[in-house]
Structure 1
Amino acid sequence: MKNDEFYIGYVDEVGSKTKKSLKKFVIASLLILAGGAFLFGFFQKSAVNSAFDFGNPTKLSGIYHESPYPMLRVSLSGSEFKDLVLLGFGKFGPNAYLKDLREKEGNLNGKHLNIEGQLIYYNGKTLLEIDDSQKVSIGNRRSSINFSPNSLGQLKIEGEIIDPKCYFGVMKPGFGKIHRSCASLCISGGVPPVLVSSDENGIEDYFLLTDLKGNPIHKDILPYIGQPSIISGVADEIGDWKVMRVDVGQIEKLDKKSLIY
């Protein structure tokens, strides 16, 4: 018992053996913490250059069109423009926020709208989240913009179906198994499904998906979200978005691991 160290903190000094034990514990803890932080960072994917202007709304004016999903065509300069895919707050599309204006004005296609929302942008694509129907109004301008599609013909593409809201910037990173169920909720709630494909250089291309008649598609596409697949269909280019009409029953799932989910 003579070699045992026992002390009272407010009376005695810490014994030499206790000091050594504490030093070893602190050093080991710091090494484990540093090593864990390094490994955690090492296995993380690089952050993408996406952005979500949460809490920083932007007022935009443009021509509304459904091709077939709600979009706002905003003039940039001269003859240049950008088509913004419209979204609702949370895991929903924008229709609930356009309902009052549709009841008042009728068909909104081709009409000038003023919308205040939060921008989401990534890799040249831009989306606009609306969170209040009072922030959508009819503008005074008239437009003769041509919305005629440019046919890309029959295409056969290997890729994965994602929801653009999370993938393009709301969730950073918008990948991993947990995001597959999140994507399913978003698409079933009205967010348009998007096919992501990439070439040998890792350059991505994006296609809004519709049914064979060119109508919006949501619940029927859910079993294929985040599944590497070969998807065939007739594609058009409308503004700066590509749209593909697909037969869901003909989607071919591949025996590959998802690169996204």
Structure 2
Amino acid sequence: MTRKKDDSFFVGWADTPAPDRRFFLRAGIGLTVGSAVLAGGLAALQTPPGTGSWNQGAIREWRGIVTGTPYAMLRTLDLGGGPRTALLSCLGKCGVAARLGSLAGKAVVITGSLIQRGRHSMIAVNEMGEWIREDDGPADPSLVFPDPEPLGSISLAGEILDSKCWFGAMRPSEGKVHKACASLCIRGGIPPAFFARDKGDRSALMIMVDNGRSYGDELLPFIADPVRLSGELVRADDLLILDAPITRFERV
């Protein structure tokens, strides 16, 4: 058998034959383009991490009336747009309701940094110093916490998550990847929240209570899992509150 003169033959120390160079060039371009398309497609399928933000260095004073029931909250004018409610937390995975003491219900000055996502706000108090003190001035009557307005019974499917991370302390702040973090936050006293989204992509976040009180460890097994629950929905001005007993939870 005779070999054609234009047949290529691989020699390790010689130049790569032209047909092989063309093959490797095309294969490299194809793999690069294919990987980019695959990466873009996978990224598009991911849940958006949210628009929350937290500048821990932007520490300032916030004035208003504070309460520890059912969770630590400050009613203030400092967020703009009239009286608004900011949940309170420590810098880490803990709430501060137990530290309010005799200041609950009074006009106070709180030092901390703002965690914010849209109209949802939380103040992480500056524990490095005196983070709360009674205000010398009189309390603004408009900052008294309003009586809850009943909105009726409701049944929803969604996810239980911790409000601090969802507001902007961490991204992503929902789903299985955040289950361990959310469990630690809620166990430490961070207010739990229920996030629901309907088929029209409308969504709502509700602070969760059990008969008007904060939950205990019985909530932990349901965190970050798809659940359906039913309860009473109330509005406390700019806060939606979902009062749902643990007996009305079911996995979906």
Match for residue 59 of structure 1?
61
State the SS of the aligned residue for 1:231: strand
| CA distance in 2 between partners of 1:30 and 1:117 (Å) | 52
Match for residue 94 of structure 1?
96
| Shift of residue 4, structure 1, vs aligned partner | 4.8
**Selected match of 2:131 from 130, 135, 148:** 135
1:75-114 alignment runs, 5 A limit: 75=77, 80-95=82-97, 99=99, 102=100, 106-114=101-109
Question: Which has the higher mean CA deviation after the structures are superposed, 128-137 or 218-227?
Answer: 128-137
Percent identity between matched residues is: 28
| CA distance in 2 between partners of 1:20 and 1:52 (Å) | 56
- Quick one: structure 1 residues 114 and 251, their matched pair in 2 at CA, closer, same or farther if it must change by over 3 Å? same
| CA distance in 2 between partners of 1:92 and 1:78 (Å) | 26
Match for residue 126 of structure 1?
121
State the SS of the aligned residue for 1:182: helix
| CA distance in 2 between partners of 1:69 and 1:51 (Å) | 22
Size of the aligned set, in residue pairs, is: 237
Output one character per residue of 1:73-92: Cα deviation in whole Å (capped at 9) or x when no partner.
Answer: 11159982110011112222
1:228 is the counterpart of 2:230: no
Q: Which runs of 5+ in 1 are unaligned?
A: 7-14, 255-261
TM (norm. structure 1) is 0.77
TM (norm. structure 2) is 0.79
State the SS of the aligned residue for 2:56: coil
Match for residue 68 of structure 1?
70
| Shift of residue 240, structure 1, vs aligned partner | 0.9
Q: Which amino acid aligns with 1:223?
A: P
Match for residue 170 of structure 1?
169
Q: Which amino acid aligns with 1:199?
A: D
Does the CA contact (< 8 Å) of 1:193 and 1:218 recur in 2? no
Does the CA contact (< 8 Å) of 2:108 and 2:132 recur in 1? yes
